[in-house]
Amino acid sequence: MKFIQPKSIGFAAIGGLLLIPLASAGFWWTSSVAQLPKPDNVSQDSPSLSPIHPDESIDDTLNERFSLSNSLERIQQIRNALSSFQQLTETSQPILGDRKMAEIGHTDWETQHLGFPNWVGSVEGTLKKQAYQIAKLEFELAQKQFQDGEITQAALDQKEANYRRAEQDFQAFWNSFNIAD
C-alpha cells in the first residue's frame, strides 16, 4: 500500500523547518542588541528632540498636538472633510463623468461609503485601545510603586481612576463601532 502524504502537512513541516533558523537568528539578534552600550549623548528618558516649528515648543507638540484629545478632534475633522469630499463627488460626477472621476481617485461608492468610515474608525479605535493599554500599564506600575512605598495612596487612586475611565471609553467605542461592508 502506497502512503500519500497530504500537501498541507508537507508544507507545514517544511515551513516549520524554515522557521528554526529565523527563530535562532531572532534570539541571537535580541540578545546581542540588548547588550550593546548606549551612546553617551542619548537621553535616558527620550530621544533628542528639537522644535518642529518655531512657534511651537517641544512640550506643546508632545503634550497638546500629539495628545489623545487633540487626535480625536482631528479624527472628527477628517470625518467632516471626507463627508465634504463625498458631497463634492456627488455634485461633480455628472459634470466630469465616470472616466475623469476614476482618474481623480477615491471617488467610487465603495471607497467613500465603506472605506472612509472603516479607515477612520480603525485609527480612532487604535488611539482608544492604546490609551486604554497605557492607562492599564500605568496603573499596574503604580500598584508596584505603591507596594514599594514610592507613591502615595492618592497617586495610586488617580492612576486607577484614569485606568477605569480609559477602560470605559474603549468599551463604549467598541460597543458602538461597526465595520461598513
Q: Report d(CA 153, CA 174) in Å as an integer.
A: 31
* pLDDT of 45: 64
What burial letters (b/e) apply to 26-54, b meaning 16+ CB within 10 Å?
A: eeeeeeeeeeeeeeeeeeeeeeeeeeeee
Whether the per-residue pLDDT at 75 is higher than 90: the answer is yes
Angle at CA of residue 66, ends 62 and 67, nearest 5°: 100
Instruction: From residue 103, give the alpha-carbon distance in Å to each of 62, 74, 86, 95.
Output: 38, 28, 16, 14
Whether the per-residue pLDDT at 51 is higher than 60: the answer is yes
Average pLDDT, the chain: 83
Whether the per-residue pLDDT at 97 is higher than 50: the answer is yes
Which whole number is the average pLDDT over 147-155? 98
Residues of the chain with pLDDT > 90, as a percent, come to 73
Greater pLDDT, 64 or 10? 64
* pLDDT of 47: 85
Whether the per-residue pLDDT at 158 is higher than 60: the answer is yes
* Residue-range domain boundaries for the chain: 58-176
Per the structure block, which three cell numbers stand in for 12? Answer: 507545514
Q: Report d(CA 77, CA 10) in Å as an integer.
A: 52
Whether the per-residue pLDDT at 178 is higher than 50: the answer is yes
- Label residue 83 by pLDDT band (50, 70, 90): very high
pLDDT in tens, 6-32: 443 343 333 443 333 334 444 333 333
Whether the per-residue pLDDT at 63 is higher than 70: the answer is yes
Phi, psi of 46 (to 5 degrees): -155, 165
Whether the per-residue pLDDT at 80 is higher than 80: the answer is yes
Please tell me what DSSP assigns to residue 151.
S
* pLDDT of 147: 99
pTM of the model: 0.70
Residues of the chain with pLDDT > 70, as a percent, come to 75
131 three-class SS: helix
**One-letter-per-residue 3-state SS of 18-85:** HHHHHHHHHHHHHHHHHCCCCCCCCCCCCCCCCCCECCECHHHHHHHHCCHHHHHHHHHHHHHHHHHH
